[in-house]
Structure 1
């Protein structure tokens, strides 16, 4: 090292700690007689930098996939409109209108999920009284006219003991997404499709289970189903946002979500949501 030379570097430890090291030679009479070393723990800064890189990547992926999922049904509608303009056969025109209707439904569902995504990202977690029976019944009423909703038998069993406080918007999003998935991915080959909903809520927590006998998910995909824009198969018609939003919303309420599924057997979602009746929880 030359007199007066400065040195800087990064030390990464096996336990994940990151330290920035800097030194400068101390000269006297043209000779180095010592060196001053400075060490700064930058572990938190590095973690935040990595989080920022990850979030930027997620944002880029989100914008790309969102624009694609919005354009696809729009392109379909515009193409069908051009065909209808030239078509004289009334039956064919009605058929094309039906196709347009399906594309509009896809757009509507995706826009609703974008709204859920926005709500979960920006709204503060609140504590308000929850009446599970009323919430589930209200969601079922909202989904009443969803495609194939009339072809699945839904059983609801709610046992709520005392007051329960949680975030009604996020809890509603979670329950809505799980029920709509059960309706959407029911197994049409089975004689009787069903969804069994059970809720047991007390002063500590709510344990919610959603059991269906639908198409199911291959176990090899279960670790990824909560990832942003993940679709378990090319047959999946969803946006890949629903379960990502569901997982995030459960986490912000301080809860846990578990998924068990097998192809051809069905899916079980299990939720544990803490009762926020005490501000210390």
Structure 2
């Protein structure tokens, strides 16, 4: 039964107050006492208490000062201040900053103090249960993420095997396919593989630590373009990089951002466009890099612009294949590195994405 009782530490420099408190409340609670803030700190090293009650007017350290000193190392115990005089400014400041739960005037009213202690303990229990639920959810989320990542990797292997068989059948002409079924299968596999790769990107972005290193935007952009140029050889890429100063950033996440935006610029071109074009520009300054990706593709309906960064949102104004998570990953990656993104688009004319990324050149890695 003792383990289920509310444990209280009462700190007061007046011995008769400590004795009176112990005599009045020992049947209801498990009581510990200390006659100074320093002695209270020593007791807290070995005793796990639920509630700390401290007198405001103590030598060396006041009750508010004591609570302020322990709030970071011992955030869980509820804090109640006893005051025998009106020190309104200190009390209000302590309550506003979360240093104390409540205050009681001395001499205390036993019923009021009982009620305050019980209310404080209810909040203590609620917070503890909430913390346990959060830890449980974090564990479940972590396990789910690991499962999705592992499954995604495992799924890619048989998909690549099927693609290999399709390509092999084409090379040795062992399969007659007048209706183009192999092409249909290949398109479906590539679409599924693209979605799996997005899941892997999302997992890595959420799990990997941010790492800063020097980035050459000229090289990085051309590497990204090379990954998608084959999807539409008619597209003209215009690249303008103004990098007069060093830039340090997270290469993985900046690559993810560029890959997704360039992929969209290629994918969402107008079929009838005679001069499809994607313009990329970068301006590096001492404190930031500004990137823009502009295309003359199908554009985005104005009513959809507020939703394009939501997970699984897909615009209904096109029938292009897409996972609906590419722009969500872009926004999440930017959040990780402290960047921002803005979009302007006119339906039927094209889309412009503008990105700002902090330059961590003075970051001590």
TM-score, structure 2 as length reference: 0.55
Change in CA separation of 1:90 and 1:262 when aligned onto 2, cut-off 3 Å: same
Give the match for residue 193 of structure 1: 276
Q: Do structure 1's residue 37 and structure 2's residue 121 form an aligned pair?
A: no
Aligned length: 240
Q: Is the 8 A contact 1:186 1:193 kept in 2?
A: yes
Q: How does 1:1-281 map to 2 (within 5 A)?
A: 35-38=114-117, 39=120, 40=123, 90-92=176-178, 95-145=180-230, 147=231, 149-233=232-316, 235-279=319-363
- C-alpha separation in 1, matches of 2:364 and 2:329: 26
Change in CA separation of 1:178 and 1:96 when aligned onto 2, cut-off 3 Å: same
Structure 1 segments of 4+ aligned residues over 6 angstroms from their partners: 41-57
SS state at 1:113 partner = helix
Change in CA separation of 1:54 and 1:207 when aligned onto 2, cut-off 3 Å: same
- C-alpha separation in 2, matches of 1:164 and 1:270: 18
Q: Is the 8 A contact 1:158 1:199 kept in 2?
A: yes
Q: Is the 8 A contact 1:161 1:203 kept in 2?
A: no
- C-alpha separation in 1, matches of 2:193 and 2:355: 27
Q: Which runs of 5+ in 1 are unaligned?
A: 1-16, 22-31, 82-88
- C-alpha separation in 2, matches of 1:191 and 1:254: 38
**Greater strand content:** 1
Q: Is the 8 A contact 1:206 1:275 kept in 2?
A: yes
SS state at 1:247 partner = helix
1:47 offset after TM fit, Å?
Answer: 10
Give the match for residue 82 of structure 2: none
TM-score, structure 1 as length reference: 0.70
Change in CA separation of 1:202 and 1:191 when aligned onto 2, cut-off 3 Å: same
Change in CA separation of 1:129 and 1:267 when aligned onto 2, cut-off 3 Å: same
Greater RCO, 1 or 2 (C-alpha within 8 Å, sep 6+) = 1
Q: Which runs of 5+ in 2 are unaligned?
A: 1-97, 103-110, 167-174
- C-alpha separation in 1, matches of 2:283 and 2:207: 29
Q: Deviations over 1:71-91 (max 9, x none)?
A: xxx8xx9xxx9xxxxxxx935
